[in-house]
Amino acid sequence: MAKKKHEEHENHERWLVSYADFITLLFAFFVVMYSVSSVNEGKYRTVSDSIKAALNPVNSIPSSRLPFSIGDTKPKMISPEPDSINDPVIRRMREIVTRINPGLKGDIAEIKIIETGHGAIMISLPESILFQSGEARVRSEALPLLKALADVLIEMGRHIRILGHTDNVPIRTAQFPSNWELSAVRAVMVVRIFSELYEVPITHLSATGFADSKPVATNDTPEGRTKNRRVEIIVLENHASEETLDALLPKENASAPLP
């Protein structure tokens, strides 16, 4: 009697092969995605650091680096402007004028304190602040102003030129035969007050009269003549020469000053 053949069992686990392949593909996919995301994160950090550096240049540039401008091929040292050296002194003198304003006759606004170049400071005092018309005696009301200015001048220790100026209206008196004498004596009187009353060293002082040879305004109007009647205090650098002083003065109608 023939034996019956056993029917082959159907393999129900073949799906595991496909499942394993699928899992392998998923694993490879996530590995690739992770790699891509890691690269992007690195780029992001690089860009982020660059942005932070751009927004905070002080923190990103070492302190030893010199400042520079866009387009420069070499770093440049930043130097202070030469004319800024006298700024504190000029501000102090202007404060003095403002503080001593009461009691002074004339237009206080006409007092000028400026830097004229070559390291020099010019203080221009109108006639009405210092003198009566046609006279050379300094008004007592002007003494506090001159005292305060003298204190600053002593501290500076520079050479000081006092320059007297008039308008072109002739003067003929026993004391002043011409405007040359008037302008020179006015300058000398300011020098004497500085040296004898307020102890400015005489070796730092000199006086010159220019009469009407150095006008700063026209002599054809009353207003212009008023501006021309003045005394200028020129504070020079210690090494300044006569040529430097001449460069600071007006050139109109220039003529030789009184010796």
Strand pairing class (159-165; 205-209): parallel
> How far is 136 from 144, CA to CA, in rounded Å?
18
Residue 247: per-residue pLDDT: 61
Span 13-53, pLDDT tens digits: 666 667 777 777 777 776 666 665 554 555 546 645 654 45
Helix (H, G, I), strand (E, B) or coil at 113: strand
Q: State if pTM tops 0.75.
A: no
Q: Please give the pLDDT value at position 198.
A: 96
Q: Decide if pLDDT at 235 tops 80.
A: yes
Checking if the pLDDT of 95 tops 90, the result is: no
Quote the tokens at residue 218. 């026209």
Give residue 243's pLDDT: 57
Instruction: Identify whether the C-beta of residue 153 lies closer than 8 Å to the C-beta of residue 194.
Output: yes
Rounded to the nearest angstrom, the gap between the alpha carbon of residue 105 and the centroid of all alpha carbons in its chain is 32
The predicted-structure confidence for 186-230, as pLDDT tens digits, reads as follows 999 999 999 999 999 999 999 999 999 999 999 999 999 999 999
Mean pLDDT of 94-104: 72
